[in-house]
Structure 1
Amino acid sequence: MLKYSNHMAFKDLREYIEFMKKKGKLIEVDDEVSVDLEIAEITRKATYAHLPPLLFKRVKNYENWKIVSNIFYSIESLYEIFGTNKLESISEGFLSNLSNMPITFFDKIKSLREILGLGKVMPKAKSPSFKEEKNLDLTKIPAIKTWPKDAGRYLTFSITITKDPETDVHNLSVYRVQILNEKEAIIHWQAFKRGALTAKKYLEKGISKIPIAVVTGVDPAIAFTAASPVPHGIDKYMFAGILRGEGIDVAELDNQLLVPSHSEVVLTGYVDLNDMRLEGPFGDHMGYYTPADYYPVFKLERVYIREDPIFHVTSVGKPPLEDAWIGKAVERIFLPFAKMLVPELIDMNLPEYGLFTGIGIFSIKKYYPGQAKRVMMALWGTGQLSLLKIIIVVDQDIDVHDINQVIYAIAANVDPKRDVWVIENALTDSLDPSVPFPPLGSKLGIDATRKFKEEMGKEWPEEVRSDEVVAKKADQILNKIIKRYQTS
């Protein structure tokens, strides 16, 4: 049976807020603030300053509402949420147990859930903490405006929940949602996102109205999972349970969707694929306004809230903001999955200034010529990594998190004609402002590994190395010099 983290999972957003308050790491803002630009501006400045979460207690024109932001304020925030500073250990434990199971053993059992101990991390039915509120509509929810030229107010960290019509697998994803009026909003799901792919399955069945729920204010581990590139086919509720070490409490709605039982706000209705409207512009994580484009409209049917609700928002813009730290945690947690798909992979770095899908640096154990390009092709065929615009591959002795070491490897090991690879008409991030015809653009691969004879036509030159005896004596003398210098 699998062993999971001993970290106590948070039941809901409120338990997390109380936890941070007891640690002295919650900033309670008593000044009255507006959802129109002010909350977003304060949040961005707080994230840049590495301040902990903010709880806005007086929101102009929205009495009885509180707003929380900056939950993912640094990589430290993810250590607090998951109870470990070695995030890859969460998925390593799961995968090691999975890979050690013999196939013949699988053939003999009736329930994979039982043999893997997944019962503990599967969602569990629990009565909801929220109640229906007939007097609420979309305009009475404290959605925020992030940048001056945004098309309007947006839900910025709400979770859109859909269910695969063929497998019943639930998907939880963070899409920006533009409020139009009391009953309508636009869901910004890009063509390759799980929500849009689920919608296509409904369309193939002749269904154009997709049942969805949009929830706000959940345990941060659930919010993180929703923002993560969990492989297609894996139920995000189960994956969140693996990260938390225990299953999520869920409640079933009238439209047969499961939502977290302790959500602060739940909006239910359907996305009408026959009603496409211009969404945007919106200032996104690239630091530019995304031009307006057509996306489907969400039609609100019911609103549920908790008493004295707490609304979760984020503010995006140039890095490093909250999405950068989510990206760094994704890098660590999903590294074991990437190693399973690319066995020679040693480590990876998705730099916070690389915009998550902009630049990826990967170190490999190199065994044969042409291996770096093979790794690039494998990575470009893997989930969210397929969106990477630039991939740099280095040898295993290069620390991918030390940019200077990476620059050295590029400068010393790369012949541009031989080692730089440009691929045209490939899938890219639709939000990339440099792409003329999204979602198709070009990609760049840089092979910064040392080359085999077959790759460059001659032997790679020998690296300089110190004489060990001389180096040991030099260290002894130098240590004496340093001590004398420090005490003088």
Structure 2
Amino acid sequence: MTFQDLRDYINFMSKSGKIIKIDDEVDVNLEIAEISRRATYLHLPPVLFTKVRGYKEWRVISNVFYSIQSVKEILGTQNLEDIGKRFLSSFSETPLTFMDKVKSLPSLLKLGKISPKMGKLKPKESNIKLTDIPAIKTWPKDISPYFTFSLVVTRDPETGVNNLGVYRIQILNEKEAIVHWQAFKRGSLASAKYKEKGITKMPIAIVNGVDPVIAFTAASPVPPGIDKYLFSGILREEGVEVTELDNGILVPSNAESILEGYVDLEDQRLEGPFGDHFGYYTPPAYFPVFKLEKAYIRESPIFHVTSVGKPPLEDAWIGKAVERIFLPFIKLIIPDIVDMNLPEYGLFTQIGFFSMRKNYPGQAKRLMMSVWGSGQLSFLKFIVIVDSDVNIHDLNQVLYAIATTVDPVRDVIIIPGTMNDSLDQASLNPPLGSKIGIDATRKFKEELGRDWPEEVSVPDEIQKKAIEIIKRITQSLPPS
């Protein structure tokens, strides 16, 4: 179903008995984060804090993406891959390359119901300051309170494409905050284009409290060049209602709060430490400063936060949904792939399992290179390639494939001096690190030097008889 805004979602969940209201007074300093984490680990429904110490007018919601099933419910499907297939079916049947299709998408869908629609802004202009908003402190040694699930809205100065990204934001004072966008994120890439044009004040908006489908889109690695409002419209099957701010940025009209201003690209300050999803504190590094010009707030506003830490927390279930939704995209770009598994405990940017239909020698290593050359999959530190009959969502099957097909000298490759996730504390000089690829496929004669041995098996009729006898035996046994 389509939610008009965050309140519509909360009302829907309340009617279903799936909102946990906490009326105890809680503190933004560690308490909200710890309660939220424990709720997520238990797969509890969203938590709505109704009494936040020092922030009388505000309510705070967390744990919106509390399980993979919750994401499916928000997106209105039980098969997430269907979303990616639906997106790709929006293209014409003309056999174009993937990038040709991406470039043609806006014109193909321009008049459709999924395009953004101009609307009236619901939040009202306010003299609120950054320090008046219930930003949370997640871990004891975090440098300050942070916005942890606010959306940073930017516009590409060359293409006009809108981007919504979830970047952590460190509150400095009443009017300033540091935006932690890494070098490969869309916001940072757009900032480089502004600098090339000699523009050092990059217009942005920091938005909080939106329809969870829009929030999900902001956290997703939508292919470059595709407008995230348009992609939200595809997920919602209805266009997002937007309003243009004075600085030219389009924002969701129904957001709970909107902070209009600019990022000063010449004002870089130390951000962090911050306890992130790796489960460690990120050491301080320089990032640009946001400077507030105007604020817009709804009456009795709701502030959306998330608590990060060791998996599986909300980012794990967002990541798992992203894996399924974007599998059709990946298979279009890399046809060798049958399936992929980015395990939640592998943090999505660190470990990836891929299955393939192997047709020729050396194909698995070729596939590794293709994966490392594809979008955010390029940050994977470990890649394991297995045959198509291996269930990559069963770790035991993957381990068995590694144990029975891999000779380390022949089948393991290590690549030094490549880009990994900049939050990876294991790298000597993040984001520069190294990668490892493991070819756990059965080997062709050209790879092994001899024919691959025959696997053990039993004729079908013997299997059938054995199954029938075992079934009869188990049914006759007393209950344990």
Which of 138, 163, 178 pairs up with 1:171?
163
What does the per-residue CA deviation read over 1:405-444, in whole Å, with 9 as the maximum and x for residues that have no partner? 0000000111111111111111100001101101110011
Q: Confirm whether residue 95 of structure 1 aligns to residue 103 of structure 2.
A: no
Point out where structure 2 has 5 or more consecutive residues left out of the alignment.
none
Q: Confirm whether residue 131 of structure 1 aligns to residue 106 of structure 2.
A: no
What does the per-residue CA deviation read over 1:211-259, in whole Å, with 9 as the maximum and x for residues that have no partner? 0000000011111111111111111110111111111000000011100
Q: Confirm whether residue 37 of structure 1 aligns to residue 61 of structure 2.
A: no
Contact 2:91-2:105 at 8 Å conserved across structures: no
Correspondence for 2:140: 148
The total of aligned residue pairs comes to 474
Paired residue secondary structure (2:477): helix
Counterpart amino acid of 2:34? E
Counterpart amino acid of 1:40? A
Correspondence for 1:9: 2
Cα distance, 1:114 vs. partner? Answer: 6.8
Correspondence for 2:243: 251
Correspondence for 1:56: 49
Correspondence for 1:446: 438
Point out where structure 1 has 5 or more consecutive residues left out of the alignment.
1-7
Cα distance, 1:65 vs. partner? Answer: 0.3
What does the per-residue CA deviation read over 1:290-327, in whole Å, with 9 as the maximum and x for residues that have no partner? 00011111111111011110000000000000000000
Correspondence for 1:208: 200
Q: Confirm whether residue 231 of structure 1 aligns to residue 254 of structure 2.
A: no
Cα distance, 1:127 vs. partner? Answer: 0.5
Correspondence for 1:5: none
Counterpart amino acid of 2:459? D
Cα distance, 1:94 vs. partner? Answer: 2.2
Correspondence for 1:310: 302
Counterpart amino acid of 2:118? A
Paired residue secondary structure (1:119): coil
What does the per-residue CA deviation read over 1:266-303, in whole Å, with 9 as the maximum and x for residues that have no partner? 00111011111100000000000000011111111111
Q: 1:32 to 1:414 in 2, by over 3 A?
A: same
Q: 1:374 to 1:386 in 2, by over 3 A?
A: same
- The list of structure 1 runs, each at least 4 consecutive aligned residues, that deviate by more than 3 angstroms after superposition, is 111-118
Contact 1:113-1:119 at 8 Å conserved across structures: no
Cα distance, 1:101 vs. partner? Answer: 3.8
Contact 2:164-2:218 at 8 Å conserved across structures: yes
How do residues 281-292 of structure 1 correspond to structure 2 at under 5 angstroms? Answer: 281-292=273-284
What does the per-residue CA deviation read over 1:165-206, in whole Å, with 9 as the maximum and x for residues that have no partner? 111101100000000000000000111111111000000001
Correspondence for 2:311: 319
Cα distance, 1:118 vs. partner? Answer: 5.8
Contact 2:55-2:134 at 8 Å conserved across structures: yes
TM-score (norm 2): 0.97
Counterpart amino acid of 2:394? D
Q: 1:79 to 1:30 in 2, by over 3 A?
A: same
TM-score (norm 1): 0.95
Counterpart amino acid of 2:418? A
Cα distance, 1:102 vs. partner? Answer: 5.8
Which of 10, 17, 28 pairs up with 1:24?
17
Cα distance, 1:465 vs. partner? Answer: 0.9
Question: In the aligned structure 1, how far is the partner of 2:287 from the partner of 2:375?
Answer: 23
Which of 127, 147, 150 pairs up with 1:158?
150
What does the per-residue CA deviation read over 1:371-413, in whole Å, with 9 as the maximum and x for residues that have no partner? 1111111111111111111111111101110000000000011
